[in-house]
Chain A
Amino acid sequence: MVFTLWVAVAALVGGIVGALLGLGGGIIIVPIYTLALGLPPQIAVGTSLVAVVANASSAATIYLKSRLTNLRLALILATVTAAGSLGGGLIGTSVTGPFILAVFGFVLVAAGILMFARPERDARTRAPDEAGNVGSDPLEGRYFDPASRTEVVYRPKAVRSGLFLSLLAGLASGFLGIGGGIIQVPVMNLMFGMPMKAATATSSHIISLTAVAGAVVYLARGFIDPGVTAVTILGVFVGARMGARLAQVLPGALIKRVFAVVLFYMALRMLAAAFGPFLS
């Protein structure tokens, strides 16, 4: 019962943090499950992937209604991300637990650096002309931003050069049990020039389409524990709802910096767990 409660708390925190930062939550869940709760890494990763699919699908509903999601861009990127997720799942279920911990540790270091140092880039937007017409770019996005009370119009650029990074995001997703948003969101914001809100929403939609490729591999190989998965799915779902409300009142920059510190701490713990036996 105590173990179940700890799983629920970890899932709740994962859901809250994921919603605050536009991530699936796996980047919190997997380290806690492996380091604090002692779950085998493959079980933690498989459980996390299923929860990520449920969480991202739920978030996608809200983003689609508000038109924040760039659906066409999400579909384009999802093709390569899904392929990457399948590859990541196949690799992840075939390697040893310490190897997963080591890779995850390095990914957390990179994620922490990105969170700490990455400025929130204001994407260049363009207004429609007087007749209300816009360009003929099939990927052009448009949504109403309640914060600024303006209609935001943007055109993603250099999409082809971001496809390889989307493939990497999928690999990371299937291998580590994360959604991949930690890679997708910066790519869309910094490389494609999309507004942060649209990048977060589109990333969430991509995750809702692609994490299943890795999740199915773990399910087929018996790495989904029903009890842990049930508590995780429900915990992440509730946490995401709470996180979405908190996101409206908390300053984004502060959240990111605190989270970066937490990521660095977890990275150290994971690297210690992976390399400790070899150093002693």
Chain B
Amino acid sequence: MDDRPTLQPEDRPKVHAVEADAPIYGRLASLLRVGVGVGLAPVAVGLAVALVQGSVGEAAAALIRAGVVMTLALPPLQALVAALAYRSQSNGRFARVAGGVLVAQLLAVLVAWTR
């Protein structure tokens, strides 16, 4: 039989928000570290191609645009990862807030490409 006293909810030590969010901080930092590298690589290669050719040709422009698109994809990915992470912690409130950021970003893409 377990003789340990059972803590009532009001007696349990409160977990600080930053401590509770520690795994989310880690995931976002990793995502951004990898994502910035993935976005910068084609930009650097495209610039190198342009410098060698003496002007920004089709290939260089395509590489640079690919890098730009990958860089601009990072913010929505961030918001999505944050929303899913908060949801997995049963923190519905901040899952919705992060989801709201994602909706605002996707709305921007929709408005930009359809207007």
Contact = CB atoms under 8 A, between A and B. Distances in A.
A208 B76 CA distance: 10
Interface stretch (A106-114, A127-135, A262-270): A127-135
A86 interface: yes
B36 A132 contact: no
Contact of B108 (A53, A57, A212): A212
Contacts of B76: 212
Interface in B77-112: 78-79, 82, 93-94, 97-98, 100-101, 104-105, 107-109, 111-112
B87 to A, nearest CB: 13
Contacts of A208: 32, 74-75, 78
Interface residues of A, number: 58
Name the residue in B28, B44, B64, B68 with the highest tally of chain A Cβ atoms < 10 Å from its Cβ. B68
A34 interface: no
Name the residue in B50, B105, B111, B115 with the highest tally of chain A Cβ atoms < 10 Å from its Cβ. B105
Interface in B15-73: 16-19, 21, 24-26, 28-29, 32-33, 35-36, 39-40, 43-44, 46-47, 50, 56, 60-61, 64-65, 67-68, 71-72
Contact of A50 (B16, B21, B72, B112): B72
A54 B39 contact: yes
Name the residue in A136, A214, A227 with the highest tally of chain B Cβ atoms < 10 Å from its Cβ. A227
A131 B50 CA distance: 61
Name the residue in B19, B29, B112 with the highest tally of chain A Cβ atoms < 10 Å from its Cβ. B112
A58 interface: yes
B17 A72 contact: yes
A233 B108 contact: no
Contacts of A158: none
B81 to A, nearest CB: 11
Interface stretch (A115-123, A140-148, A182-190, A244-252): A140-148
A242 interface: no
B interface secondary structure, majority = helix
A215 B65 CA distance: 13
A138 B17 CA distance: 6
Interface stretch (A76-84, A97-105, A272-280): A76-84
B105 A213 contact: yes
Contact of B25 (A67, A139, A214, A217): A67
A196 interface: no
Contacts of A57: 32, 35-36, 71, 74-75, 78
26 contacts: A57-B35, A57-B71, A57-B78, A60-B29, A61-B36, A65-B29, A71-B28, A75-B79, A75-B94, A75-B98, A86-B112, A142-B16, A142-B18, A209-B79, A212-B72, A213-B108, A217-B111, A217-B112, A219-B112, A226-B60, A227-B47, A227-B61, A230-B44, A230-B47, A233-B71, A234-B43
Given A79-B101, A86-B108, A233-B43, 10 more contacts: A53-B72, A58-B36, A64-B25, A78-B104, A86-B107, A142-B18, A208-B32, A212-B72, A224-B65, A227-B50
